[in-house]
Amino acid sequence: MHLGALILAAGEGTRMRSRLPKVLHPLAGKPLLSHVIDTARSISPDEITIVFGHGGEAVLSELAAGDLDWVEQRERLGTGHAVIQALPLLQKADQVLILYGDVPLISGSTLVSLLSCLHSSDLALLTVDLPDPSGYGRIVRDRNDRISRIVEQKDANERELEISEINTGIMAVNRVRLEGWLSRVDNNNAQKEYYLTDIIALAVTDGVNIQAVHPNAEEEVMGVNDRKQLAHLERYYQRQQADLLMQSGATLADPARLDIRGRLTTGRDVFIDCNVIVEGEASLADGVSIGPNVLLKNTTIGQDTQVLANSVVEDAEIGSECRIGPFARIRPETRIADRVHIGNYVEIKKSLVANGSKINHLSYIGDSSIGEDVNIGAGTITCNYDGANKYRTIIGDRAFIGSDTQLVAPVKVGEGATIGAGSTIIKDVPAEQLTLSRSKQVSIKGWERPVKKPKQ
């Protein structure tokens, strides 16, 4: 069997009121269409074809990939017309699965049950009962409860409008049959469109026993037409992510106030406070605690480390038993080993901090390599940039850097060295010695403070 997945994405998305094509709007940080593509990939079809329309070049340039074929639908003449555009590309397929670029949360398991119906039928539909079916095509069944056709809202009579079972649009169909039926579909209807849904009545005429499958949740088949619907699906999706984390042993202070725009994996007894945002891939080992208002992007954090309130960690690796923040900023290409303390208003970029070192207050550490058990005093700055190039600072094990030191890179500080507070270090510092660079302290006798001149 050769399975072709077909994704219709030629809609204009006018109700989004956006310059961005609708299917590129992000849900959980990922374009709507990418959700559908990834779910299609998860069931391993032999090919994936996407029908794009107006403004589709932007979609193509953002999402093009080796396993995707693209077809343009120049005129938007209906869902049936859209499928016809793709048929020449689906010549090898025995079965076609039809999906929609703006129905992002369809699940792989629902698609698998839909496809399994094709063992015994040539057409299977995904339908759902909705308390408010308005706007959707209705599933019309005969006296024996067999599906006989689909009637669009705009073509339905009053009795048909009462039907609560609706067409989600998602279907699996035998490819040869699909082609035959579509060649017989006309646009003789309220919208003057070629309706894909008209193939249902044709299949019934041909004696096909149409199967219907229901999704596990309504949200799986909800489309995004406006930003309100997008927000609804975003919340639903986030709640699902939160539930999965809690199942795997994480405590969430408030499951409604965690946003995962990517993937988060957690060990046991992880605690996540309110308003945490995760982007890209993050993993938190056992016992990690994340404080409120923390942003984690592409980060791994080792056992029992605490990230305190309002910290931002991006493209970094943090070891075990560390304390990061509050108000710390860890920037890309930083590796922090075990038992390290990074305190408030400390920024670290492209640096290595070895076991047991402490940078507790108000520092900038960039392009540096810091040894074990180093203590970096408050206000220490690595001057890594001369306006044109970046240079490295290397600090040996057990060094003690006094507060308010400027380390003008490239510079090396030897093991066990001590630097006096307020020093500007421009040359390498020897191991085990005290180094300081300061002007002498003077006191001026008899000096008087200026006083304010009287107003004229």
Minimal distance in Å, beta carbon 26 to ligand UD1?
Answer: 17
Indicate the residue among 21 and 223 with the shorter CB distance to Ca ion. 223
State the sign of the Cα–Cα–Cα–Cα dihedral 350, 355, 359, 360. positive
Pick the closer one to ligand UD1 by CB: 76 or 392. Answer: 76
Residue 136 interacts with ligand UD1 (CB under 6 A): yes or no: yes
The 221-260 site mask, x for binding Ca ion (CB under 5 A), equals --x-------------------------------------
Stretch that binds ligand UD1, among 74-82, 268-276, 377-385, 429-437 (CB under 6 A): 74-82
Question: How far, in Å, are 7, 149, 225, 270 from residue 187 at the CA level?
Answer: 22, 16, 24, 57
What is the H or E stretch that residue 289 is in? strand 289-290
Q: Please give the structure tokens belonging to residue 102.
A: 């703006």
HSE value, Cβ hemisphere, 13 Å, CA-based, for 7:
27
Which among 23, 44, 39, 139 has a CA at the least distance from the CA of 95?
44
- Report residue 382 as tokens: 């690595």
- Min dist CB 61 to ligand UD1, Å, is 19
Q: Is 299 in the site for ligand UD1 (CB under 6 A)?
A: no
Measure the N-to-C terminal CA separation of the chain; round to a whole number of Å: 98
Q: Are 279 and 259 in contact (CB under 8 A)?
A: no
The catalytic site residues sit at 361
C-alpha span between 345 and 359 (Å, rounded):
10
Q: Which is nearer to Ca ion, 176 or 190 (CB)?
A: 190
Closest contact distance (angstroms) between CB of 135 and ligand UD1 is 7
Minimum CB–partner distance for residue 79 and ligand UD1 (Å): 3
Under rule CB under 6 A, residue 82 binds ligand UD1 = yes
- Identify which range of 4-12, 288-296, 359-367, 441-449 contacts ligand UD1 by CB under 6 A: 4-12
Residue 81: CB atoms within 10 A of its CB come to 20
- Name the residue among 178, 71, 80, 163 with its Cα closest to residue 124: 178
**What distance in Å separates the CA atoms of residue 333 and residue 313, rounded to the nearest whole number?**
11
Q: Lay out the site mask for ligand UD1 across 85-104 (x = CB under 6 A, - = otherwise).
A: ---------------xxx--
Sketch the per residue contact string, 184 through 223, with ligand UD1: x for CB under 6 A, - otherwise. -----------xxx-------------------------x
Q: How many CA atoms lie within 13 A of 240 on its CB side?
A: 15
Q: Which does 393 bind (CB under 5 to 8 A by kind): Ca ion, ligand UD1, none?
A: none
Which partner from the list Ca ion, ligand UD1, none does 377 bind, CB cut-off 5 to 8 Å by kind?
Answer: none
Please give the residue whose beta carbon sits closest to ligand UD1 in the complex: 137
Tell me: does residue 291 bind ligand UD1 (CB under 6 A): no
For the stretch 114-146, what's the b/e string if a residue is b when 16 or more beta carbons lie within 10 angstroms of its beta carbon? bbebbeeebbbbbbbebeebeebbbbbeeeeee
Q: Which residues bind Ca ion (CB under 5 A)?
A: 223
Which residues sit at the interface with ligand UD1, rule CB under 6 A?
8-11, 51, 73, 76-79, 81-82, 100-102, 136-137, 150, 152, 166-169, 195-197, 223
